[in-house]
Amino acid sequence: MGGNESKIWIEKFRPQTFEDIKGQDKIVERVKAFVELKNMPHLLFAGYSGTGKTSLSLVVAKKLYGENWKSNFLETNASDDRGIDVVRNTIKDFARTKAIGDFPFKIIYLDECDSLTKEAQQALRRTMETYSNTCRFILSCNFSSKIIDPIQSRCTVFRFKPLAKEEIKKIIDKIAKEEGLKISNSAIDSLYEISEGDCRKLENILQSCASISKNIDDKLIYDIVSQAKPKEIKEILELALNSEFVKARNKLLDVMLKHGLSGLDIIKQIQKEIWNLDIDQTKKVDLVDKCGEIEFRMVEGSDEYVQLEALLASFSK
């Protein structure tokens, strides 16, 4: 990366046009129609992180207001201040004034609004209703079920899905071309598996890898993210299923120490890898059920090593 090592890739590669936003074609098409009409309702963007919610909001503002977009667009994060004061002061003060220039309304983008308290959401509901002539809201959250019904009923809801492998590959190819990186096919597969369709996570991993080497393979990726390789987890499971409990236990401890993994980290990888085992489907269901039980015990505070040994023991039986 040379002199660009200190740059934050998330901002550098953030979409600037509707066409740059990948994996959400139907949502982009409908929102683009609102912008072309220069009129839109309140919007609620719900879904996984790193799928384009913030990027789409910024593109809407830039296309709607042009060079004046910063004057007519307020971006605030509800997780920074969850209380009612942020709604009564910051948001209300911005919403009550008219847009600068010949524009019908301002836009307030409220990120992570599912972090707002119920009282703050009630105040927000009233603000959305009172100042609808001068301001539109774009609310973003991971879980729409945490947003009160009166707010949801005032918004057009769009649900963002994790990016597909083809879309992730397009993003990787673009970054590789602009940064002069060589990324192997196995690395692309690993990046997709680890990022789980989260573009923000993908770019953070790539930036970390690129700071070490321009030639990126799956070994470098797993070293960076401190995750066990799927084949290591699969080997542990196969040893346990073949009743080789001691070998499976020793291998598990070795993998956890080598990668610095916690019990919750490893249990999630085990659950994923179960579906790739060459065993009967009903047995896979039983194994996943056992994983869920062990994960619950860990969350409740049980010793993770004891619980993981119990998990391998149940697999061996």
Instruction: For residues 83 and 192, give the distance between their C-alpha atoms in angstroms, rounded to a whole number.
Output: 37
pLDDT value at position 4?
A: 47
What superfamily would CATH give domain 24-160?
Answer: P-loop containing nucleotide triphosphate hydrolases (3.40.50.300)
Instruction: For residues 173 and 161, give the distance between their C-alpha atoms in angstroms, rounded to a whole number.
Output: 21
3-state secondary structure of 150: helix
Does pTM surpass 0.85?
Answer: no
pLDDT value at position 308?
A: 92
User: What are the sequence ranges of the domains in the chain?
Assistant: 24-160, 165-225, 230-316
Instruction: For residues 305 and 298, give the distance between their C-alpha atoms in angstroms, rounded to a whole number.
Output: 10
Pick the CATH number of 230-316 from 3.40.640.10, 1.20.272.10, 3.30.450.20, 1.10.10.10: 1.20.272.10
> Looking at the DSSP assignment, which residues form a beta bridge with residue 107?
73, 136
Contact 57, 157 (CB under 8 A): no
Token output for 181: 């990186």
Pick the CATH number of 165-225 from 3.10.180.10, 1.10.8.60, 3.40.50.300, 3.40.50.170: 1.10.8.60
pLDDT value at position 310?
A: 92
pLDDT value at position 2?
A: 44
Contacts of 96 (CB under 8 A, 6+ apart): 131, 134, 135
Q: What are phi and psi of 160, to 5 degrees?
A: -90, 135
Question: Of the candidates 78, 80, 86, 34, which has an alpha carbon nearest to the alpha carbon of residue 57?
Answer: 34
Per-residue tens of pLDDT for the chain, all 317 residues: 444 443 466 677 777 888 888 888 899 999 999 989 888 899 999 988 888 898 999 999 999 888 878 888 988 876 666 667 677 778 888 888 888 888 889 999 988 888 888 888 888 888 888 888 889 999 999 888 899 999 999 999 999 999 898 899 988 998 888 888 898 888 898 899 888 888 888 888 888 888 888 899 888 888 888 788 888 899 999 999 998 999 999 999 998 888 888 888 899 889 988 998 888 888 999 999 999 999 999 999 989 999 999 999 998 87
